[in-house]
Amino acid sequence: MTEPSDSTCSSPVLDLLRQLHESLASLDDGEVATYIPELSKADPSAFGICLVTANGTVYEVGDSAVPFTIQSVSKPFVYGLALEDNGRGPVLEKVGVEPTGDAFNSISLEVGTGRPRNPMINAGAIAAAGLIGGKGRVNRFKRVLEMLSLYAGRPLAMDSSVYRSEDETGHRNRAIGHMLRNYSILEGDPIEAVDLYFRQCSVSVTCRDLGIMAATLANRGVNPVTGRQAIRGEYVENVLSVMGSCGMYDYAGEWMYKVGMPAKSGVAGGVIAVLPGQVGIGVYSPRLDARGNSVRGIRVCDELSRHWDLHLLNRQAAGRSTIRRQFTGAELNSSRVRTAEELVALRTSGGSIRVFQLQGHLTFATTEVVVNEIMENFTRIEQLVLDLRRVQTLNESACRLFWHLVCKLGEAGKQTFFTHADRHPLLRRYFKAKLGRRCEELFRAYEDNDLALEACENRVLSDVLPGRRTDHRVRAAEFELCQGFEPEEIETFSACLVSRPFECGVSIISVGERAAELYFLTRGTVSVIVPTQSGTARRLATFSAGMCFGEMAMIDRAPRSATIVADSDVECEFLSLERFDHLRKTAPEICIKLLTNLSRSLSQKLRKANRELSVLD
């Protein structure tokens, strides 16, 4: 099993599992079950461990591929199917959820009603089998088998010789069936329910299957290896609850105390344990203790829990890391390139724009952290951007808190914008259910942060620079690059420029073209677009009238590195390289001023980029 040759690049997790396997392989307490002849044929030394993370990474050691029958480990899964078929209420009427403190084969029916105490004892499991929907016994077992196969991520089958053996010796279970029929807990033919129970117990699995099945419960019902849903998420907590309180029979209290993972064992030697949101564990070792639990199976769970800190109730405060980053509109700007005056205004007044980048799973506790942080800054915030790009899941509690938050901000005249909200359709549905057609009034969504930030900035700028002209025609003398020019230098320089209009949407410069001119934007706005790795186009910057682009033409004369698109109808004046080279000889002082201004502008952009880098890092 433990091949030294591959230990260099095997995972440390696998190494630790191998050590555990090795240290427990010598443990040979307990006896193989003999109550049905087929079970007694198992190899007593067989021993496999499989740990599967809720993300779907599978670690397996030892006899993880040896088949055996699932037996009582089937009980929680069939109970889950009964919940899906009937709903919580009707199932609770037929089977309780209280631990009994009794052994696995105890009949434990409630006095008066005859209701089995819980679905982990045989009586409760037979009652649950009686609740499986479908026409006829063949079809019902087919549904059970399909459900178990979804959990395992491969087609499972029944071991017929074990089934025959169960069927021949199962008189106690038939007695239970009749008793349940007597109390009307079972409604049709009790022997059909008992037969389904025998069949479900005889399904053949491996230790690897059990690990993946457990991880499916850890992953809220979605098999993390195949990505397919095996049970509706809302019922997983119920299945895990009965495993937690009743899964280990009369050992349940101590199990929760010491191991702290919902678990279930079977008489063929299988054990599953689940740490919700984290890992599923499957163990196979046929030697059983007096309670009918696999000796090594129990030890594996116990050691893993203690040494790897897997106790369910051992948790650190989870909320703080929900806010990946927050910044104001004074710290980071959109890609819209602003004038010096606008930049000063944003650095002074952009603090009222607050962007929160969120991450992870948004539940009550994690969303509360966000809401609390926002409420503490309530008076300082005028425009709020909530970026959901890195949010993995978002539940209804989170929607409810966001809804209240957005209303509260709205009442105070403050605006909220969501970005990347299309990844979480539940949020929009929640707002829509609250607001109907007026949804868009409060649910303002932008594709990405950059667009949301630009919109927020525009609002701040129109407040603090009310006289700002946004669509006037700029003359050459007003250009940043012409700063410090004498009147006669302006005249000489203007004479070198050629004017050209572009229609909205036209590419003024295309990536890869030969660079032949420097452009002065006299009217309208243009955007710098680069292709991204994912194949989509990304906006690098947007320039407005009074700014220059394509200036690298004068410097390195290399092909264009980006595409420039007209965002509106645009007018440009351009300086060709020939004209520039001519100026260089005839009026070098103009070139020196131009290059000095260019260097200043580049160095201001570099300082801004470095400032943004320090905010982002």
Stretch 308-327 residues interacting with a second copy (CB under 8 A)? 308-321, 324
Helices first, then strands: H and E counts in the chain: 22, 23
Q: Tokens at residue 589, please?
A: 């002082």
Which residues in the 209-228 window bind a second copy by CB under 8 A? 218-220, 224
Nearer CB in complex with a second copy: 183/580: 580
Q: Distance (Å, rounded) from C-alpha 581 to C-alpha 575?
A: 10
Binding segment toward a second copy, per CB under 8 A, in 128-136, 137-145, 468-476, 601-609: 601-609
| Residue 598 touches a second copy, criterion: CB under 8 A | yes
Identity of the residue, 183 or 364, whose beta carbon is nearer to a second copy in the bound complex: 364
48 in the Ramachandran plot: left (φ > 0), alpha (ψ -120 to 50) or beta? beta
Q: Give me 123's structure tokens.
A: 């009586």
* Interacting span for a second copy (CB under 8 A) from 47-55, 66-74, 418-426, 502-510: 47-55
Cα distance between residue 121 and residue 567, in whole Å: 70
Count of chain residues binding a second copy (CB under 8 A): 118
- Rounded CA-CA distance 338/335 in Å is 9
CB-based contacts of 28, cutoff 8 Å, min separation 6: 44, 45, 287
Name which of residues 9 to 28 contact a second copy (CB under 8 A): 9-13, 15-16
Q: Single out the residue of 275, 274, 293, 277 nearest to residue 285, CA to CA.
A: 293
For strand 444-446 and strand 415-419, is the pairing parallel, antiparallel, or unpaired? parallel
Phi-psi region of 82 (alpha: psi -120 to 50; beta: other; left: phi over 0): alpha
DSSP state of 260: -
Q: CB 95 → a second copy: shortest distance, Å?
A: 11
In the structure encoding, which two tokens stand for residue 250, read together? 């009369």
Distance from the Cα of residue 145 to its chain's centroid: 29
Instruction: Scan residues 387-406 and list those touching a second copy (CB under 8 A).
Output: 390, 392-393, 395-397, 400-401, 404-405
Complex with a second copy: residue 54 or 295, whichever CB lies closer: 54
Stretch that binds a second copy, among 71-79, 153-161, 571-579, 602-610 (CB under 8 A): 602-610
Q: Which of 6, 26, 290, 411 binds a second copy (CB under 8 A)?
A: 411
Residues with active-site annotation: 72, 75, 197, 249, 267
Q: Please report, as residue ranges, which positions from 487 to 546 form the binding site for a second copy (by CB under 8 A).
A: 538, 540
Pairing of β 548-549 and β 517-523:
antiparallel
Contacts of 379 (CB under 8 A, 6+ apart): none
Contacting residue, 275, 298, 508, 565, with a second copy by CB under 8 A: 275
User: Which residues 78-97 are close enough to bind a second copy by CB under 8 A?
Assistant: 96-97
5 binds a second copy (CB under 8 A): no
139: contact with a second copy by CB under 8 A: no
152 contacts a second copy (rule: CB under 8 A): no
DSSP state of 481: G
Q: How far apart are CA 588 and CA 577, in angstroms?
A: 14
Instruction: Compute the distance between CA of residue 541 and CA of residue 495 in angstroms, rounded to an integer.
Output: 29
Task: Pick one of 42, 256, 529, 553: the residue that binds a second copy (CB under 8 A).
Answer: 256
Q: For residue 372, what are its two tokens?
A: 């609390």
Alpha helices in 247-353 (DSSP H): 252-258, 295-307, 340-349
Query: Among 260, 297, 329, 524, which residue sits at the site for a second copy (rule: CB under 8 A)?
Result: 260
Among the listed residues 445, 552, 560, 568, the single contact to a second copy using CB under 8 A: 552
In whole angstroms, the minimum distance from the beta carbon of 416 to a second copy comes to 12
Q: At closest approach, how far in Å is the CB of 504 from a second copy?
A: 26
Judged by beta carbon, residue 13 or residue 157, the one nearer a second copy is 13
Contacts of a second copy in 320-359 (CB under 8 A): 320-321, 324, 359
